[in-house]
Structure 1
Amino acid sequence: MGMEGKVRLLLVDDEPHFCRVMAMHLADEGYIVATATSGEEALERFRGEEYHLVITDLKMPGVDGLVLLERIRDLSAEVPVIVLTAYGTVDTAVQAMKLGAFDYILKPVDVDELKMVVARALRMQEITKENLALKASLSAFYRDFSLVAESKAMQDLFPIIRKASEVDSPLLIRGETGVGKELVARVIHASGTRKEGPFTVVDCASLEPERVEEVLFGGEEGEPGKVHLARGGTLLLDQVDELSPRTQARLLRFLEEERVAQMPRVRVVATTTEDLGGLVEKGSFRRDLFYRLRVLEISIPPLRERKEDIPPLVEHFIKKYNARLGTMVERISSRALDCLVSHSWPGNVRELENVI
């Protein structure tokens, strides 16, 4: 656990000799071991001191192992509990697992097995804590970039966004209008290795098809294109599905050159509201370009599929526009919030922001 010498175990068994022998073996591993010879004593100890793991016999007079497990679970959901059971009470051990025990060990106890299970339980506890801490830090980080989300769908997306920020591969971001595709791209850029470089956006849908290639790769008169201006940073191609066949071919050639380069000059991120795979099947988008852009892919769910995000988004936008407009709005009424939550939001987060 990275806590050798500080990990505290509570060993519970109504046989004092067994407690002394097992405590000695576990202490040899560097653990601090406290013992209790009854469930009542164990509960008193657990309430009064911090323990990282509990080992308890199942069959004890008074407060037995199952009751002790339930009481410990009421006090702490994080502390792993290992139960010890005789061969004839395996069914009870299985019941203990259903109540949240980490594992069970048959008596007579094999010391090496006990040590192994204890180490595994502590490692799993550490991994769980690290994951919770990472998720909390990711949530805080993305909240700073207005990626406000509490839904499972978005929380599951955060590690993928973090991974995408750690590499230079082309990235395709899919999602309906207004879900925040450009915002996600900006977060990835700002938290990645190219954060000191420019973040350059080309809106492929707003330009005439014949102009896009010139804007991207430069004009005949030597005017630099966005590809050149984005060197060292990120080039965002918004609505990449709008590219003409000619520009698609030119972009593919550029991406192939970047792929074989020792150090890519620019990281290309493309966004789309369309099903590019469907466009490939229809023949309106190049298959090879599709696969080259989709080295990594992020799909952002629409707001109607993650309505848990609406209340925190409302709170975020109220704070944002209070600061911008000098207003003092504290909150909206419960009735108004219910109306917002029940709305289908075809324009997604952008529409919600406009309403606020």
Structure 2
Amino acid sequence: MAKILLVDDEEKTLKVLGRSLNMLGHRTTGISNPKTTLETIRKISPDVVIVDLMMPHVGGMELLGKVKEKNADLPVIVLTGYGTVKTAVEAMKKGAFDYITKPYDIDEVDLIIKRALEQRELFIENKMLRETVLQQSAFSGIVTQDKAMKKLLGQVQTLANTESTVLVTGESGTGKELIAKALHAAGNRQSKPFITIDCGGLPETILDSEVFGHVKGAFTGAYSDKKGYLEIAEGGTVFFDEIGELPFVLQRKLLRVTQEKEFSRVGDTKTKKADIRIIAATNRDLKEEVKRGRFREDLFYRLNVISLHVPPLRNRPQDIPLLVNYFLSKFNARFEKRVTKIDEEAISTAMTYAWPGNVRELKNTIERIVAFKEGNAVSINDFPDEIQGLALNGSNLLPPFKEFKEETLGTFTKEYVLMLLTVFNGNVSKAAAKAQLDRGNFRKLLKRFEISAADYRK
């Protein structure tokens, strides 16, 4: 049922009400010091709070305001004596869900709790929708509260109406295409086509024809003229996804497009103008690719007029709860389900996972969970094994003391031996003497770490 926090300065009320609610299947936590309410809420994440209006030091009305300020979606039910019903009604105006008068009817209390839970579920569903961007907006699907991401979106807004070529960098799955689409949709080309070209998805010859088009007879099978993506995107934006995989031969042709805004179809001698904006994305280090001779330096500088970097998901863990709610809402609609809850352990563990596949991996994980989920609440057991294996406090990331001690000591010892050999130019006798070890034991260390003293002799 529900996880309920009871706040009352009278221990007797806490015990009696707590026992009654437990018998109905609820789980209760009672505190008699109202000053610890917010901290307790943070620790146990209750579904409902029941608070007495008349308490010394911190009044129920004041406490109500503090709770609602920090947890707008958390239903607060006030407990009041018969003579203070007017105050209870005032509390409802200030955000309390309902009130219970003493002496109370436990069945009536249970009914109020159930209504509070229903309201909270609806509130959370609406919050999911508010936390996502409007589907028709330029930033559709980009859900974030991260400072770096917000700065990035600000840059996108600033660059949207410029004609500058933009290079979007970032690991696979971070959402580089979403950034490219936002640049297009927020700019003055939004009513024109946005064409994505997967630079690594097609063989060179086919990609050449798909991008630039071809004329009849250009090659076997070219039975008629065909427009390429550059012509189809006229007036709009062409997004070259994973530009680092573009074949070297086609890099030269793309360079011409970036320099002169013109191109020729395959098999044609005529030149066509290209009224397009070019955006490219890569998960590679293009500077390194240039050094290795795999990417044209002149094209790199043409594309890298303005660079935008999308941070990996592991660098913005605070976005994970938002993204989880966003994807739950999305896949609930697709699968016609109502998976609306995810427990604290699952969220906390998801926030400690590195997500090597970034947002795409998280999206796929939530899709799989919703597809198979029978109930409406997600727990840590619904996640893949590699995520379940993470302890909530990250303790599994630390080895046992003995193992950690041996590993650390081994690393230190090896580094110390290497320093000795470097200082004494590979002279084992001098190195052993400095370490205050006999030669035999020092040689055992060399053997253990597979170190050759001869490598350090000049």
User: Which TM class, normalised by the smaller chain length?
Assistant: 0.5 to 0.7
1:352 aligns with 2:352: no
* 3-state DSSP of counterpart to 2:240: strand
- Aligned partners of 2:245, 2:320: CA distance in 1, in Å? 31
Asked whether the 8 Å contact 1:199–1:230 carries over to 2, the reply is yes
1:265-294, Cα deviation, whole Å (9 max, x unpaired): 001111111011111111111111001111
Partner of 1:206: 201
Q: Computing the radius of gyration over CA atoms, which structure comes out larger, 1 or 2?
A: 2
1:85-100 aligned at under 5 Å gives the runs none
Opposite residue 195 of structure 1, the aligned amino acid is Q
Q: Percent identity over the alignment? A: 39
1:228 and 2:231 are equivalent in the alignment: yes
Question: Residue by residue, what CA displacement relative to the aligned partner does 1:131-164 show, whole Å, maximum 9, x if unpaired?
Answer: xxxxxxxx95779511101111211211111122
**Residue of structure 1 equivalent to 2:162:** 167
| Structure 1 unmatched runs, 5+ | 1-138
Q: Does the CA contact (< 8 Å) of 1:164 and 1:296 recur in 2? A: no
Letter in 1 for 2:253: R
Give me the whole-angstrom Cα distance separating, in 2, the residues matched to 1:314 and 1:192. Answer: 29
- Aligned in 2, Cα 1:254/1:269: closer, same or farther, shift over 3 Å? same
CA contact (8 A) 2:234 2:276 kept: yes
- 1:314 correspondence with 2:324: yes
Cα offset, 1:209, TM superposition: 2.1
Counterpart in 2 of 1:49?
A: none
Give the structure 2 partner of residue 41 of structure 1.
none
Judge conservation of contact 1:172–1:271 (CA < 8 Å) in 2.
yes
1:94 corresponds in structure 2 to none
Q: How many residues align?
A: 216
Task: List aligned pairs for 1:65-144, cutoff 5 A.
Answer: none
Shift of residue 241 of structure 1? 0.8
TM-score normalized with structure 2 length: 0.45
Secondary structure of the 1:179 match is coil
1:215 equivalent in alignment to 2:201: no
Q: Residues of 2 paired with 1:319 and 1:243: CA distance? A: 37
Residue 319 of structure 2 is aligned to residue 305 of structure 1: no
Q: Post-superposition shift, 1:264?
A: 6.2
Q: Distance in 1 between matches of 2:206 and 2:146?
A: 40
Cα distance in structure 2, aligned partners of 1:248 and 1:226: 16
Which residue of 2 is the match for residue 253 of structure 1?
256
Match of 2:341, SS state, is coil
SS in 1 for 2:183: helix
2:338 aligned residue (294, 303, 328):
328
Q: SS of 2:261's equivalent?
A: helix
Q: Is residue 133–residue 142 contact of structure 2 (8 Å, CA) maintained in 1? A: no
Is this contact kept in 2: 1:212–1:243, CA < 8 A? no
Q: Of the candidates 235, 239, 252, which is equivalent to residue 242 of structure 2?
A: 239
**1:213 positional shift:** 1.6
CA distance in 2 between counterparts of 1:168 and 1:144 reads 19
Q: Which of 286, 292, 296 is 1:276 aligned to?
A: 286
1:191 maps to 2:194: no
Question: Looking at both structures, which has the greater relative contact order when contacts are Cα pairs under 8 Å and sequence separation is at least 6?
Answer: 1
Contact map agreement 1:198 1:230 (CA 8 A) in 2: yes
The amino acid of 2:227's aligned partner reads: P
Distance in 1 separating the partners of 2:133 and 2:162: 22
- Give the residue type in structure 1 aligned to 2:153: F
Structure 1 residue 256 displacement after superposition: 1.1
Distance 1:164 1:143, change over 3 A: closer
Kept in 2: contact 1:318–1:331 (CA 8 A): no
Match of 2:148 among 144, 153, 160: 153
